[in-house]
Amino acid sequence: MRKLALFCLTLALAAAAIAAPKSVYDFTLKSIDGQSTPLSEYHGKVVMLVNVASKCGYTPQYTALEALYEKYKDKGLVIVGIPANNFMGQEPGTNEEIKTFCSKKYNVSFPMMSKVSVKGDDKTPLYDFLTGKSTDPKFGGEIQWNFTKFLVGRNGSLVARFEPAITPDSPEVKSAIESALAAQ
């Protein structure tokens, strides 16, 4: 009986290991318009995932994010805005309000997702993965504020994390993007 229990436990652990997400491509979000968006659609591209908010001191970073997107999209960069209301209620709007704000105020043309939680008990699984110390001890750790940027290489692995105060047009962000784009 003990051998059977040990065998069952081994199978369960093996199944969990196989089912555990291995890259951002294992996740699906909803677009700002409510359409299912598997991140695997971006396989082979360099992806920057950014938790965004409309009423934050960092909100003007939308301008630099859009400029980065325009500069590098033809080389394989995709920026994905992920609205979240986890920090002092700075993203209170509906998805439609967020979409209108981003379009009218910042001319955002990069993909925007539906609002999610990036911190706490209701954290979306993608952010469990991105912030998990077991995923990548170098880049893990809770999201501290809006406009945290995760850079994902063409293979779906994290290659950099930039905290909110590091602007999208900073030399270190541009350098990381260019290095990721150059990697095949």
CA atoms lying within 13 Å on the CB side of residue 55? 11
Amino acid residing at 42: Y
What is the bridge-based pairing of β-strands 77-83 and 46-52?
Answer: parallel
Nearest to 176 by CA among 141, 140, 150, 155: 150
What does the alpha-carbon distance between residue 99 and residue 13 come to, in Å, rounded to a whole number?
A: 42
- Reply yes or no on whether 102 is catalytic: no
Q: What is the DSSP letter of 112?
A: B
Residue 54 and residue 91 in contact, taking contact as beta carbons nearer than 8 Å:
yes
Q: What is the DSSP letter of 39?
A: G
What does the alpha-carbon distance between residue 42 and residue 35 come to, in Å, rounded to a whole number?
A: 15
Options 21, 56, 169, 174, the catalytic residue: 56
Helix (H, G, I), strand (E, B) or coil at 124: coil
**Active-site annotation, residues:** 56
